[in-house]
Structure 1
């Protein structure tokens, strides 16, 4: 049976994204596993800082997470999980590959197709946010609907592996 490489999300210790990427790339180079392991990405995008002067800098889209391309096989899962500071694959014992649409969206942001700003009133449908307040603090979601009048958003977050719509106020989220 021929397996295809797909993208998966690794949860890691926050703040160690670049170190984990470097370590995974080194280990992949040393033991290529027959080409069954692909790229490792730390998704970042340009963010405009609007404090006086306009300044652009790279900001991580998903702190505490790294994307990896691989063929899903038990020996490769063990190989990746034995990397220092890697906690788990999203999806637990049965990691779920990202859809092509999700991968395209992340790659578009990395290439600069979408520029993030930190203007609270500039929420865009299909953009990602992080919940900073309330019962979903720490969750990353995708904006499904923006209601500027009531300053509320409908955001889809993954709860127990299912995308669930949640209503949040503008001040509860961060881009």
Structure 2
């Protein structure tokens, strides 16, 4: 199974077995860094460069920014883009010492990387459990197999239909089916309220200013 994760390059393909780890690498643990929002990829690239410069490739084995592919319609074009699963966070795989702790030199090098605010867990961060790593693998794999709409919707919101026989009509969202990425929207046709089922990509949100 192959998953899409941002590593040294955007949209890197990575075998999930390397993410989970092998028996020969039991001391390798995954930790979470907190970063300034919007600087996740810069932190990844900066940390990768510092690892090379300080010859710590054996201590810091992976730096990842998990992403998912999202889709939207612009005019009649289907546009795909990348979105981070965990904005403000970067995953780092570290070779721990025989006590399961992050070596001091590695800890301070990571902590001093620009735009890193610290480890999740503070001075004594707890590594991700195998179950948590498996969940991340599952989420990223699922997103790679089935790209999500870029925007989500909720019952009660007003939307405008962008395509099909009801194009330009506005209506109120009555039901949302996240699994199928569909909405049941009530529109007024010839003075009557009529429910129609639409794909997420067929509608756009109407702002408060537009409603007024």
1:65 to 60, 81, 89: 89
Classify the secondary structure of the residue corresponding to 1:102.
Answer: helix
Classify the secondary structure of the residue corresponding to 2:33.
Answer: strand
- Normalising by structure 1, report the TM-score: 0.61
Tell me how far 1:68 sits from its aligned partner.
0.6
Tell me how far 1:51 sits from its aligned partner.
5.6
Please tell me whether residue 12 in structure 1 is matched to residue 41 in structure 2: no
- Note the aligned Cα RMSD (angstroms): 2.4
- Mark the structure with the bigger radius of gyration: 2
Aligned match of 1:106 = 136
Classify the secondary structure of the residue corresponding to 2:61.
Answer: strand
Aligned match of 2:147 = 115
Q: Is the 8 A contact 1:109 1:115 kept in 2?
A: no
* 1:81–1:47 CA distance, 2 compared to 1 (3 A): same
Tell me how far 1:56 sits from its aligned partner.
1.6
- What stretches of structure 2 of length at least 5 have no aligned partner? 1-24, 97-101, 154-175, 180-212
- What stretches of structure 1 of length at least 5 have no aligned partner? 125-175
Q: Is the 8 A contact 1:25 1:40 kept in 2?
A: yes
Q: Is the 8 A contact 1:44 1:109 kept in 2?
A: no
Please tell me whether residue 92 in structure 1 is matched to residue 100 in structure 2: no
Aligned match of 1:167 = none
Tell me how far 1:58 sits from its aligned partner.
0.5
* 1:23–1:51 CA distance, 2 compared to 1 (3 A): same
Partners in 1 of 2:35 and 2:146 — Cα distance? 25
- Normalising by structure 2, report the TM-score: 0.51
Partners in 2 of 1:63 and 1:15 — Cα distance? 7
Q: Is the 8 A contact 1:21 1:40 kept in 2?
A: yes
